[in-house]
Structure 1
Amino acid sequence: MKSFLEIYDFGTQTSRTVWQTPDHVEAPNWSPDGSFLVFNGSGLIYRLDLSEDAQPVRIDTGFATGCNNDHGISPDGLLLVISDKTETGKSCIYTLPIDGGTPQRVTEEVPSWWHGWSPDGSRHAYTAVRDGTFMICTCAVDGGNEIQVVGGGGHYDGPDYTPDGQWIWFNSDREGGMQLWRVRPDGSDLQKMTDDERVNWFPHPSPDGKQVLYLAYEEGTEGHPADREVELRLMPAEGGAPRTLISLFGGQGTINVPCWSPDSGSIAYVRYART
């Protein structure tokens, strides 16, 4: 499958391909200083500097060679967080230096899939399954102190903090269709933020706090599959009508994790070739 790593610029309202490969890659993160992207492919993590003609370089993740597409960079740019199953058999969260090194285990229980870092750098937000139940949890950056924020019947996924740390956005089918929600980090004030015919996943608040980017599947889609006609949509952070930013062939792997540039002027995403 041919993958196109792309950047959409809000100023020019255009996309450009910064790298392409005949292989399958997923889920770009943007570094806090804006100079590089991080993404995964075939269980490994790569860095792509955003300089002319740069090529991806593998980040040494030690024993962790079964990384999925749930990874990110700490707000200070010093740490990489990954979700990997090599050691535990199910997705487990680890941190390591951004330039590579030995992963340090964060979550005691598995499966756990990382999705968001609190803006003060103190906590992780992640999807977890405990005793067969999906939930959104947080824990201290170095592990322990797991707190269930919200959970129950249905699927819960994609938690990401707002830049002021006051909300965690996520997607859930707790009322039937997969829609976007937000909740306070202490589990209070749960609010449904979309309610339409689309199947909505992976909300990402912009660093300036004004907008939320998300992935919208066609009505009736089950789960979050790859190789689908999808839309990247944008909505006001306080709620309101969304607008379609880009229509593309993608889905799983397109924007699973935070993907805004630090100045809120661009987003990074993966588009796939139609076969």
Structure 2
Amino acid sequence: MADHQATTPAVTPPRAHVEDTGMRPRELRAGQRTCVWVASAESSTPSLVFETSDILLEAPNWSPDGNSLLLNGDGRLWRLNLDQRTDQLVEIALDGVPPINNDHVLSPDGHHMYVSGMDGHLYRAPLTGGTGTRLTDDDGTLHFLHGVSPDGRTLAYVQIPCGVEGAPGRLALMPAEGGRGYVVDTGKGHIDGPEYSPDGVWILLNSEAFTSVPGHAQIARLPAAGGPLDRLVNSETVDWFPHVSPDGRLATYVVFPAGTLGHPENLDVAVNLVATDDWQTPLATFPLFGGQGTLNVNSWAPDSRAFAFVSYPMADR
């Protein structure tokens, strides 16, 4: 694995105060680093493309032109240029948008970014930066974005009622232009990471519906048009955030240790690469120290030949 230290621009405070939700941008611990990796779909050895001890970056999306990654950090959106001859990390300014978390996706046409604000609302903003527009209503719930349909018309997100401790996340859909969402029945248990398959036929997610063991999330899918959950992976581990490659042949997801509740930070986890015709058998496994922020959103390259993820090593490990 390559190893180099990159220069990071100075980080200024977030633009706006986060109200009510209690969400705050994550920060690196003393002696901790952000390491951004790119892995080939044909190799078990990833490449370290960026490393910093200045800012905690999360959840890479790949830009439509294949030349950069888009990550959140310190409540802001950043472009990480993969051409190391240029300034690698550049902020994409989002005016009128509160600090964001690690739930963000690109519009299918590549012109906009949909982001989840730490105020619990969803926003759309130009991918090159500019003024954002709030899309969600004040409906008494928090909204955590994960998917947009291939035709660009529908957003898939996790809906959680405000102020209800321990309430499970529910799959919800809403118009991409904004408005009120509606909940889709996925049975009992928390769900997260709902994301459309490239052909728009399926919504993939992780669900706790298959077990009575608290937190035991497993990878599943359901028809986008409505229907029952189909379990794709049956494992002893806790599995989160399935992401299918643009050509539909491969997928990645994050593997947490058995007994994990939620998707916490700073654990020994792994990223699994699988073929979509056999989710049960990993083609490659990438162990790392991370979890939250490692692979929350789809990080496949446009040509389906590579994907990105993030680790957070500690100096004493």
Same fold (TM > 0.5): yes
Q: Equivalent residues in 2 for 1:247-266 (5 A)?
A: 247-266=287-306
Separation in 2, partners of 1:33, 1:138: 28
Are residue 50 (structure 1) and residue 54 (structure 2) matched? no
Q: Percent identity?
A: 37
Relative to structure 1, is the Cα distance of residues 133 and 233 closer, same or farther in structure 2, using a 3 angstrom cutoff? closer
Deviation for aligned residue 1:251: 0.4
State whether residues 155 and 175 of structure 2, in contact with CA within 8 Å, keep that contact through their aligned partners in structure 1.
yes
The alignment partner of 1:14 has SS state of coil
The alignment partner of 1:196 has SS state of coil
Are residue 62 (structure 1) and residue 102 (structure 2) matched? no
Q: Equivalent residues in 2 for 1:211-230 (5 A)?
A: 211-230=250-269
**1:197 partner amino acid:** E
Structure 1: gaps of 5 or more residues: none
**TM-score normalised according to structure 1 size:** 0.93
Q: Equivalent residues in 2 for 1:21-40 (5 A)?
A: 21-22=52-53, 23-40=55-72
Deviation string, structure 1 residues 148-169 (Cα, Å, up to 9, x no partner): 2234532110011111000000
Separation in 2, partners of 1:230, 1:184: 29
State whether residues 134 and 152 of structure 1, in contact with CA within 8 Å, keep that contact through their aligned partners in structure 2.
no
**TM-score normalised according to structure 2 size:** 0.81
Separation in 2, partners of 1:74, 1:35: 17
Residue number among 107, 110, 113 corresponding to 1:80 in the alignment: 113
Paired residue total: 271
Separation in 2, partners of 1:143, 1:251: 31
**1:119 partner amino acid:** P
Mean Cα displacement is larger for which, 9-18 or 166-175?
Answer: 9-18
Deviation string, structure 1 residues 166-207 (Cα, Å, up to 9, x no partner): 000000112332101101113214211111101000000111
Task: Name 1:18's counterpart in structure 2.
Answer: 49
Pair member with larger Rg: 2
The alignment partner of 1:241 has SS state of strand
Task: Name 1:123's counterpart in structure 2.
Answer: 154
Separation in 2, partners of 1:261, 1:235: 16
Mean Cα displacement is larger for which, 5-14 or 216-225?
Answer: 5-14
Task: Name 1:188's counterpart in structure 2.
Answer: 227
Task: Name 2:25's counterpart in structure 1.
Answer: none
Residue number among 191, 197, 201 corresponding to 2:240 in the alignment: 201
Separation in 2, partners of 1:6, 1:37: 11
Mean Cα displacement is larger for which, 25-34 or 61-70?
Answer: 61-70
State whether residues 134 and 151 of structure 1, in contact with CA within 8 Å, keep that contact through their aligned partners in structure 2.
no
**1:100 partner amino acid:** G
Task: Name 2:198's counterpart in structure 1.
Answer: 163
Task: Name 2:309's counterpart in structure 1.
Answer: 269
Task: Name 2:179's counterpart in structure 1.
Answer: 144
Separation in 1, partners of 2:93, 2:187: 37
Deviation for aligned residue 1:133: 4.8
Deviation for aligned residue 1:236: 2.8
Deviation for aligned residue 1:38: 0.4
Relative to structure 1, is the Cα distance of residues 149 and 32 closer, same or farther in structure 2, using a 3 angstrom cutoff? farther
Separation in 2, partners of 1:11, 1:223: 30
State whether residues 118 and 161 of structure 1, in contact with CA within 8 Å, keep that contact through their aligned partners in structure 2.
yes
The alignment partner of 2:170 has SS state of strand
Deviation for aligned residue 1:145: 5.1
**2:151 partner amino acid:** D
The alignment partner of 1:69 has SS state of strand
Task: Name 1:41's counterpart in structure 2.
Answer: 73
Deviation for aligned residue 1:76: 1.2
Separation in 1, partners of 2:286, 2:115: 28
Separation in 1, partners of 2:206, 2:41: 25
Task: Name 1:71's counterpart in structure 2.
Answer: 104
Task: Name 1:242's counterpart in structure 2.
Answer: 281
